[in-house]
C-alpha cells in the first residue's frame, strides 16, 4: 500500500492493530507478548507519524513493528519455548476444501509449535509473508535486507516447516 | 528447456516465490517447464503449497479491544480550536476530550486554546458532580452548530481543570446543552474565532 497522506494514529490502530497482534502472537506463541507489542508499536507510530514521509506506509509500519519486537526480545532476554507435539497430523489436499480448512485449524497448534522452532530470520519472513500478507519488497523494507534474501528466507522457512510437520501428500 | 533437470536446492525457491506471485515472467516459464511431467518437481511443489496454505489458514486472533483506544487527536486539536471541524467530527473530538487526559493537556498547551480558556468566565465547579449524577438519557437528536460545540468543550475543560476529580461519567448531550446556553450569553467567547461566532444560531 502506498499512501499519499499519512493516516491518523487512530486509523493505524484500527486498520493494523489486529495484524500487529497476530504478527507477534505467531512469532512468540504468547498473547501477553503480542499485547505488549501492539501497545509499543502504536506508541511509536504515534510519535513517528508527524515525521512520516509519504511512501510505502506498510514498509514504514512493519519496520517499526519489527524493531519494536526485537527491542522487546532484547529487553526480556528470553526466547519463546514450545514443545513440538508428536504426530497425528492430518493430510491436507492440494487445494483447501472446507474439510481441509477444518483440518488445518486442528493443525494450527502444530503449525504454531513448528513455527517457533524456526530460526528467527526464517520465522519472521514466513510470518510477514503468510500471516501478515506482505509482498516480498515490503518485507525487504521492513527487515532491511535485499528482496533476494527475503525470497530465500521464506523458502527455507517453509521447507523446514515441511520437514517438521511431515505431511503426507 | 525440455531437458531442464529439477534440483530441489536450486529450484525449490522458485516454487515458493511462484506461489507468492513474486516471480519474473522468465522465472515463471522455468517453473512451468519444471512442473511439466517431472514427478519429483511436482511433489516438491505440492509440499510447499501445503505448507503455505496451512500457514495462511492459521486462525487470526482478535486483538484485545483494550489495546485499541479511540486514539488521540493530534493536529485535529488545532482545527477543533479554530472551529474548522464539521459537526460530526467535532462531536467525536469532544467526546474524546472528555475521556482523554492526554489530549486535554495537549489542547491546553496550544496557544490558541490558552487564549480562549483564559478568557472564559468561571464555571460552576459543582458541575462535574451534577453531571456525574445525571443518568444517561436515551440518544436523541441534537441540532448544534460545530462552533458552539467547541465553546462547550472549552468550558468543559475549565470545569475539569478546576473541579475535576475521580472519574465522573459525563453525558455529552446534556453537558453541551448546559454550556451552549451559558456560553452563548457570556462575553468570554468573543475571543473565539469568527468561524465559531458565525456558526452560532
Question: pLDDT (tens digit, 9 = 90+) per residue, A19-28?
Answer: 999 999 999 9
Residues B133 and B190 in one domain: yes
Give domain status of residue B83, yes or no: yes
Tell me what pLDDT residue B116 has.
Answer: 61
Q: Strand, helix or coil at A3?
A: coil
Task: Identify which has the larger pLDDT, B139 or A154.
Answer: A154
Residue A66 sits in a domain of what CATH number? 1.10.1740.10
Give domain status of residue A40, yes or no: yes
Q: Strand, helix or coil at A92?
A: coil
Give domain status of residue B62, yes or no: no
With CA atoms as reference, the chain B residue closest to A115 would be B55
Domain that holds residue A37: 9-76
Q: Kindly determine whether residue B71 and residue A8, on different chains, have CB atoms separated by under 8 Å.
A: yes
Tell me what pLDDT residue B4 has.
Answer: 80
Give domain status of residue A147, yes or no: yes
Q: Is it the case that residue B41 has pLDDT exceeding 70?
A: yes
Q: How confident is the model at residue A139 (pLDDT cuts 50, 70, 90)?
A: very high
Residues B31 and B130 in one domain: no
Residues B35 and B97 in one domain: no
Cβ of residue B193 closer than 8 Å to a chain A Cβ: no
Give domain status of residue B64, yes or no: no
On average, the pLDDT of chain B sits at: 67
ipTM for this model: 0.77
Residues B107 and B32 in one domain: no
Residues A30 and A61 in one domain: yes
Q: How confident is the model at residue A66 (pLDDT cuts 50, 70, 90)?
A: very high
Name residues 19-78 of chain B within 8 A of A (Cβ): 20, 22, 43, 46-64, 67-72, 74, 76
Tell me what pLDDT residue A147 has.
Answer: 96
Domain that holds residue B31: 8-56
Number of domains, chain A:
2
Residues A23 and A63 in one domain: yes
Residues B134 and B191 in one domain: yes
Residue A118 sits in a domain of what CATH number? 1.10.10.10
Q: Kindly determine whether residue B54 and residue A169, on different chains, have CB atoms separated by under 8 Å.
A: no
- Measured from the Cβ of residue A46, the count of other Cβ atoms closer than 10 Å reads 17
Residues B24 and B49 in one domain: yes
Q: Kindly determine whether residue A169 and residue B68, on different chains, have CB atoms separated by under 8 Å.
A: no
Give domain status of residue B119, yes or no: yes
C-alpha cell of residue A79? 526466547
Residues B13 and B86 in one domain: no
What does the pLDDT average to over A127-134?
A: 95
Cβ of residue B129 closer than 8 Å to a chain A Cβ: no
Task: Sort out which chain B residues have CB atoms less than 8 A from A8's CB and list them.
Answer: 71, 74, 76
Tell me what pLDDT residue B108 has.
Answer: 78
Residues B102 and B140 in one domain: yes
Residues A66 and A113 in one domain: no
Most confident of A79-83, A113-117, B76-80: A113-117
Tens digit of each residue's pLDDT (9 = 90 or more) over B67-107: 886 556 666 777 777 777 666 567 767 877 888 888 888 88
Residues B13 and B93 in one domain: no
Residues B21 and B84 in one domain: no
Task: Sort out which chain A residues have CB atoms less than 8 A from B71's CB and list them.
Answer: 8-11, 13-14
Tell me what pLDDT residue A118 has.
Answer: 95
Residues B34 and B108 in one domain: no
Tens digit of each residue's pLDDT (9 = 90 or more) over B47-63: 999 999 999 999 999 98
**CB-closest option in A13, A21, A169 to B61:** A21
Number of domains, chain B:
2
Give the CA-trace dihedral at A58, A59, A60, A62, to 10 degrees. 80
Residues B112 and B191 in one domain: yes
Q: What is the DSSP string of chain A?
A: -B-SSPPPHHHHHHHHHHHHHHHHHHHHS-HHHHHHHHHHHHHHHHHHGGGPPSSBHHHHHHHHHHHHHHHHHHHHT---------S-PPP--SS--HHHHHHHHHHHHHHHHHHHHS-HHHHHHHIIIIII---HHHHHHHHTS-HHHHHHHHHHHHHHHHHHH----
Tens digit of each residue's pLDDT (9 = 90 or more) over B154-197: 545 544 444 444 444 444 444 444 444 444 444 443 334 444 44
Q: Kindly determine whether residue A165 and residue B63, on different chains, have CB atoms separated by under 8 Å.
A: no
Amino acid at each position: 500500500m502506498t499512501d499519499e497522506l499519512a493516516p491518523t494514529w487512530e486509523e493505524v490502530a484500527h486498520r493494523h492493530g489486529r495484524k500487529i497482534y497476530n504478527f507477534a502472537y505467531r512469532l512468540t506463541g504468547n498473547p501477553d507478548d503480542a499485547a505488549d507489542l501492539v501497545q509499543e508499536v502504536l506508541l511509536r507510530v504515534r510519535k513517528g507519524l508527524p515525521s512520516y514521509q509519504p511512501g510505502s506506509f506498510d514498509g514504514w509500519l512493519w519496520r517499526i513493528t519489527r524493531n519494536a519486537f526485537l527491542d522487546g526480545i532484547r529487553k526480556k532476554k528470553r526466547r519463546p519455548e514450545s514443545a513440538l507435539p508428536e504426530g497425528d497430523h492430518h493430510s491436507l489436499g492440494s487445494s483447501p476444501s472446507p474439510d481441509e480448512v477444518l483440518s488445518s485449524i486442528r493443525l494450527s497448534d502444530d503449525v504454531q509449535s513448528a513455527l517457533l522452532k524456526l530460526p528467527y530470520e526464517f520465522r519472521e519472513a514466513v510470518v510477514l509473508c503468510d500471516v501478515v500478507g506482505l509482498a516480498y519488497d515490503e518485507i525487504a523494507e521492513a527487515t532491511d535486507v535485499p528482496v533476494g534474501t527475503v525470497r530465500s528466507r521464506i523458502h527455507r522457512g517453509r521447507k523446514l516447516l515441511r520437514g517438521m510437520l511431515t505431511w503426507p501428500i | 528447456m525440455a531437458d531442464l533437470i529439477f534440483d530441489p536446492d536450486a529450484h525449490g525457491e522458485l516454487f515458493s516465490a511462484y506461489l507468492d506471485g513474486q516471480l519474473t515472467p522468465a522465472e515463471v516459464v522455468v517453473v512451468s517447464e519444471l512442473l511439466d511431467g517431472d514427478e519429483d518437481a511436482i511433489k516438491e511443489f505440492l509440499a510447499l503449497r501445503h505448507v503455505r496454505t496451512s500457514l495462511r489458514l492459521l486462525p487470526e486472533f482478535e486483538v484485545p479491544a483494550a489495546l485499541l483506544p479511540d486514539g488521540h487527536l493530534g493536529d485535529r486539536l488545532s482545527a477543533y480550536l479554530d472551529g474548522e471541524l464539521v459537526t460530526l467530527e467535532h462531536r467525536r473530538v469532544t467526546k474524546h476530550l472528555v475521556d482523554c487526559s492526554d489530549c486535554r493537556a495537549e489542547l491546553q498547551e496550544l496557544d490558541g486554546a490558552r487564549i480562549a480558556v483564559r478568557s472564559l468566565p468561571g464555571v460552576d465547579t459543582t458541575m462535574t458532580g451534577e453531571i456525574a449524577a445525571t443518568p444517561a438519557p436515551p440518544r436523541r437528536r441534537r441540532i448544534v452548530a460545530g462552533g458552539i460545540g467547541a465553546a462547550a468543550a472549552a468550558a468543559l475543560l475549565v470545569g475539569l481543570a478546576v473541579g475535576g476529580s475521580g472519574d465522573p461519567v459525563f453525558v455529552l448531550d446534556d453537558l453541551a446543552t448546559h454550556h451552549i446556553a451559558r456560553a452563548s450569553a457570556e462575553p468570554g467567547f468573543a475571543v473565539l474565532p469568527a468561524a465559531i461566532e458565525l456558526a452560532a444560531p
